[in-house]
Amino acid sequence: MQKTELEVIIVGAGPAGLTLACELRLAGIRVAVLERRQEATVHSRALTIHGRTLEMLGLRGLDQRFIALGKTLPTGHFAGLDTRLDFSGFDTPHPYTLFLPQSTTERLLEEQLLQDDLAVWRGALVEQTEQDEHGVTVAGTHDGAPFTLRARYLVGADGGRSLVRQQAGIAFEGLAASCSMIMGDVLLKYPPASPMLAMTNTAGSLMMVPLGNGRYRVIVMNAQRPHVAVSEAATLKELSQVSTAIAGHDFGLHDPTWLSRFGDETRLAQRYRQGRLFLVGDAAHIHMPTGGQGMNVGMQDAMNLGWKLGGMIKGQAPDSLLDSYHAERHPVGLALQHNTLAQTALLTRFDARMLALRDTISDMLLEPELNRKMASDLSGFGLRYAAPLAASAPLGNADWTGRRIPDWLLRLHDGTAVGIHELLHAGKWLHLSFDGAPATLPYAFDTSWLTSLQVKQAGPRLAGLKSLLIRPDGYADNAA
């Protein structure tokens, strides 16, 4: 590997690492992405992109690339309960989940990096990381040849067994695996009538999700063998037998392209930042993949860190901005942990008491207010950050602080009609003035990091505001 002058080294080229690299490249930051795999994986543990992640991609003008290759579904599930979570009422261009293989998500992100003149260093095995007051050093082998790289910052996006996290001595606290499921990507002779099938009874739990071209992902847990070690190989025979025990037949499953077993180990990094080192995605949090949330939260971690790290490196913000990464995202990881533990309990216990509880919660989700609350948590639409990004900032209208801003249409003073999200494509802060007042950032930030616009007409949802300051990730920071 050729030694080069770098500002950030990212270890891991999964969805979180690639999202972070895209955000840093947008800011003009010199990045190296190191990935131990020689080739991009063709298997896809994650299948779901939630609506807020699609909005996040839309903030950079990338969402339609993903939507064009996926399948939309206006509902989601909580623990496979019969009552689905309804996304249709959210104020968003993307009131749905998108079924898209993780391999495709990674490919599209990597293609964006190539457009920005950045290639992933594949076959790069990182063996040693360390930091000092001036920067970080990463050493290992690339295609068998030793390398050493130096940069200002290091980000571990290297999964649940993160070497970056381990060598930094960051605790990874939580629960060991207590059960396991098997998963297979197969063809079905007799596919289910509904787009997504979920069944739970005394024999176990079964979920079927369409992958396209007649292929389905089948996930089962055997109530008779709930504690199988994840190291035991999954087989088509086992998948068929458990499916039959639960549903009465196996839907004619055959021709598997991938069989795997996974557990419910659940852990959260004690710190997301340690000096010049940061953690994103599975390096920061792992859990049972219930509700398809892990990849989405990881990509949103990366967006949150990316614009902050880029602005700080370019001298547009103080180092203290980087502390807000842990402050904002660690609570999200904790909420994810609680959500997935609750779903795991409902999905992995099969006696009469638990089945009665499932029916009770499913009936409760028929109430629109409760359904919306659960849907907002799962989709990410409900996330709200607690405070402005600087304690010295005037609070203004606190009702707006930390709120996600939908893609509302504005009419500017020059007559142009434009959506708010399009105005964030460059990754800058956005100040909207509704009364002609000039815009300033109320922090120690450089004004080159700000787009300021005079708004002529904004619609009733922004009525009464004189100004609105929006962060590069689409959340309101201040309003007056």
In a domain, 460, yes or no: yes
User: What 8-state DSSP symbol labels residue 436?
Assistant: S
Q: How far apart are CA 403 and CA 125, in angstroms?
A: 40
Contact in structure between 325 and 273 (CB atoms under 8 Å) = yes
Distance CA 273, CA 276 (A): 7
Q: Which residue shows structure tokens 């203290």?
A: 320
Sheet with 97-99: list strands edge to edge: 48-49, 97-99, 71-73
- DSSP classification of residue 226: T
Task: Enumerate residue ranges in the chain where pLDDT < 50.
Answer: 1-3, 391-392
Structural domain that includes position 325: 8-175+267-379
Is 161 in the same domain as 273? yes
Q: Tell which of 379, 408, 439 closes a domain.
A: 379
Same domain assignment for residues 366 and 410 = no
Q: How many domains does the chain have?
A: 3
Residues 426 and 468 in one domain: yes
Which secondary-structure segment (H or E) carries 10? strand 8-11
How many residues are listed for the chain in this entry?
Answer: 480
The reported pLDDT for the residue numbered 13 is 97
Q: What is the CA radius of gyration of the chain?
A: 23
Examine the domain organization and report whether 237 and 89 are in the same domain: no
Answer with the one of 315, 349, 379 that is the final residue of a domain.
379
Query: What's residue 414's pLDDT?
Result: 85
pLDDT at residue 446, rounded to an integer: 86
How many angstroms from the chain centroid is the CA of residue 377?
13
Query: Residue 224: inside a domain, yes or no?
Result: yes
Instruction: Determine which helix (DSSP H) or strand (DSSP E) holds 410, and give its type and residue range.
Output: strand 409-412
Whether 440 maps to a domain, the answer reads yes
What local confidence, expressed as pLDDT, does residue 3 receive?
Answer: 47
- The phi-psi region of residue 222 (left if phi > 0; otherwise alpha if psi is between -120 and 50; otherwise beta) is beta
d(CA 127, CA 123): 12
Residue after which a domain boundary falls, among 234, 263, 292? 263
Give the pLDDT confidence of 304-361 residue by residue, as tens digits. 999 999 999 999 999 999 999 999 999 999 999 999 999 999 999 999 999 999 999 9
Q: What is the mean pLDDT of the chain?
A: 93
The answer to whether 230 and 221 are in contact (CB under 8 A) is no
Q: Note whether residue 392 is domain-resident.
A: no
Q: What is the pLDDT of residue 1?
A: 47
Give the residue among 475, 476, 441 at the shortest CA–CA distance from 52. Answer: 475
Same structural domain, 223 and 306: no
- Is the domain of 169 the same as that of 293? yes
CA distance 7 to 317: 16
What is the structure's pLDDT at 442? 58
Angle at 14 between CA 297 and CA 68, to 5 degrees: 80
Written as one string, the DSSP assignment of 246-309 is HHSS-TTEEEEEEEEEEE--EEEES-SEETTEEE-GGGTEE----TT-HHHHHHHHHHHHHHHH
List all residues 6 or more positions away from 207 whose beta carbon is below 8 Å from its beta carbon. 80, 196, 197, 198, 199, 217, 218, 219, 220
- Model pLDDT, residue 217: 94
Q: pTM for this one?
A: 0.95
Give the pLDDT score at 384: 96
* 29 plus 121 within the same structural domain: yes
**How far apart, in whole angstroms, are the C-alpha atoms of residue 249 and residue 331?**
43
33, two tokens? 């992405």
Same domain, 375 and 405: no
